Amino acid sequence: MADSKSSAKTVIKSVLGQVPFTAELYWLMRNDKNINSRFSLKNLDHHLPQMVADAEALRKKAKGEGKNIFIFAALHYWIEHAAVMGVTLAGLGHKVALGYLPFHDWQNPINKFDLRRQNLYAEEILSKAKPVMDVISFLSLHTGYKVVPEDLREHIEQISRYDSMYTLQVEDVDTSSAIYKLRLKRNMSAARDAYEYLKLNKPDVVIVPNGTIQEFGVVYEVARYLDIPTVTYEFGEQRDRIWLAQNDKVMRQETCDMWEAFRDKELTALEKGKITEQFEARRNASVWKNFARLWQAVPTKGVEAARQELGLDERPMVLLATNVLGDSLTLGREVFSQSMEDWLEKTLQYFAGRKDAQLVIRVHPGEVLIHGQSMMDVIKRVLPKLPEHIRVIAPTEKVNTYDLIAAADVGLVYTTTVGLEMAMSGIPVIVVGDTHYRGRGFTQDPDSWVKYHKTLKAVLENPQEYRLSEEQINLAWAYAYRFFYDYPRPYPWHLVYLWEDYAKRPLGEVVKSKEWKQYKPAFDYLAGEPLDWGAIRAQSA
């Protein structure tokens, strides 16, 4: 009975959603304006009045002419975060507009009736920010009959493929699948909205999260197509830090300019101590300082214990560490393979005939949380029966990756940070994907299958000859420090811990605190001030 009632309700909503103003009339007639949905802005609703008052007070003290800034967000948690960012930028003297789409998730259809109700709910709450910030619902722009340029459409189709990979955690996309069709429909709608709005309003800078997937990637591509300076941002496992990229997708983690500025700067004793402590915390399965992530499920047991458990002998041991399929840090990272799966398949086939070496495959522990294809499936398909010299460590197995690193003679990686950590241990690492630490002077970086197999053959014949020099190891440690502590810039409010962070550092107080000196540059970079790594290096001296 309950299912039939729910089904009938869904049908009624679907019909009413096609009738103009039904959702709006329903919203006006309700006494209780809460909605039974995961689309919740209740924390923003609570904090916004005081936040706006603080921004208004700050604006009176702002000097100079600010920028015209457009911020885009979709999904309730990003909308809340973008609203806090936007009100802050408005308080710093900028003219800010926040554009949004009121979806509560990216992978499930929603009927128009409920979507319009969510939009009305968002409009009602976000209207409280209007004294300092314009608010634009893309749902209200009505650009359904507009057409985006064909070459821009190609980018939207690519984003829709990435969305399918990200959602289903696969690398092969079926363009006839429901998820691809849903993502293409939503992305094309967002592209029409963004194209018309940005073409007409031409802000000085566009700010958007991520920049690679979903409507975030769409707005990024539209802004760049229109030659509007664009800043993308994301958050890693560190509290109090933000990743930033200007006119680039932040998930690419392009560290070239940073490394160019810092490469010849040796680590101080304090910096060496800091990165050593972090490495030890990762190795020993503990959370360290402002990192909120536990990297290992079990502490290290020692290299000899690991070798005995795996039954390793004296033959060279190759450690292959996989990524999680569909992770946005792996999307579009192919160098010469068609995909990570393609690389794993061909590497398994290569090692099947190399009994003079031992291959240990560490399937990413993060796979315990996925619902898509596992690298375990790929391995079983290629080698249904594993030869004695190939061992696979499943994501559920209680094995510390750092024990494996200590036992390894050679490392093989796609984009995982494990490759960087193997280099820090002096192990020759062959990097196959276009990851941020590729080409930094301490890895082997083949750009074709021929060079990959040639490099692999040479390293396996004499692993000791290819072990990293002291200079290369020091370089790897220096890069790791810069990547973890200089690349992410100080920022007061992490996406995942937004309201916990905001309670500790509300806008009105944080700008008056001693901490503001370290936080303000990030807001300047968001507003389009060039990220000058040379200046950042000078300040860190």
On whether both 53 and 92 belong to a single domain, the answer is: yes
The end-to-end CA distance of the chain, in Å, is 70
Does 169 reside within a domain?
yes
pLDDT tens string 285-330: 544 455 444 344 455 556 777 788 888 888 999 999 998 877 777 8
Query: What's the pLDDT score for residue 365?
Result: 80
Range with lowest mean pLDDT among 128-137, 343-352, 362-371, 458-467: 362-371
Q: For residue 520, with 0-12 CB atoms within 10 Å meaning exposed, 13-18 middle and 19 or more buried, which class applies? A: middle
Higher-confidence residue of 387 and 20: namely: 387
On whether both 154 and 242 belong to a single domain, the answer is: yes
Give the model's confidence band at 450: pLDDT under 50 very low, under 70 low, under 90 confident, else very high.
very high
The per-residue pLDDT of the chain, averaged, comes to 89
Contact 101, 132 (CB under 8 A): no
Query: What's the pLDDT score for residue 295?
Result: 44
Does 36 reside within a domain?
no
Token pair recorded at residue 373: 């294809």
Does 14 reside within a domain?
no
pLDDT tens string 237-256: 889 999 999 999 999 999 99
On whether both 453 and 514 belong to a single domain, the answer is: no
Question: If DSSP codes are grouped into helix, strand and coil, which group holds residue 294?
Answer: coil
Give the model's confidence band at 22: pLDDT under 50 very low, under 70 low, under 90 confident, else very high.
low
Angle, CA 295 vertex, CA 292 and CA 298 arms, to 5°: 125
- DSSP symbols for 319-360: EEEPPPTT-TTTTT--SSSSSHHHHHHHHHHHHHT-TTSEEE
Give the CATH number for residue 111.
3.40.50
Reported as type and span, the H/E element at residue 381 is helix 375-382
* Dist CA 223 CA 219 (whole Å): 6
Higher-confidence residue of 453 and 407: namely: 453
Cα-Cα-Cα-Cα torsion 41, 232, 72, 97, nearest 10 degrees, comes to 110
On whether both 279 and 405 belong to a single domain, the answer is: yes
Domain boundary among 443, 468, 485: 485
Helices (H), 408-493: 418-424, 449-461, 463-466, 470-481
* Dist CA 212 CA 251 (whole Å): 7
Does 516 reside within a domain?
yes
Reported as type and span, the H/E element at residue 232 is strand 230-234
On whether both 153 and 220 belong to a single domain, the answer is: yes
Number of domains in the chain: 2
In terms of average pLDDT, the best of 143-147, 231-235, 281-285, 415-419 is 231-235
Provide the pairing of β-strand 68-74 with 230-234: unpaired
Does 13 reside within a domain?
no
Above 60 in pLDDT, residue 10? Answer: no
On whether both 312 and 350 belong to a single domain, the answer is: yes
- What is each CA distance from 408 to 14, 276, 292, 357, 534, in whole angstroms? 58, 20, 28, 11, 37
Q: What is the mean pLDDT of residues 424-440?
A: 96
Does 34 reside within a domain?
no
Any idea how long the chain is?
541
On whether both 385 and 517 belong to a single domain, the answer is: no
Higher-confidence residue of 6 and 317: namely: 317
Does 6 reside within a domain?
no
Give the model's confidence band at 77: pLDDT under 50 very low, under 70 low, under 90 confident, else very high.
very high
Query: What's the pLDDT score for residue 451?
Result: 98
Does 28 reside within a domain?
no
Cα-Cα-Cα-Cα torsion 141, 198, 219, 521, nearest 10 degrees, comes to -120
* Dist CA 272 CA 475 (whole Å): 12
Domain that holds residue 391: 267-485
Q: What is the mean pLDDT of residues 506-530?
A: 96
Query: What's the pLDDT score for residue 20?
Result: 54
Domain boundary among 443, 465, 485: 485
On whether both 418 and 460 belong to a single domain, the answer is: yes
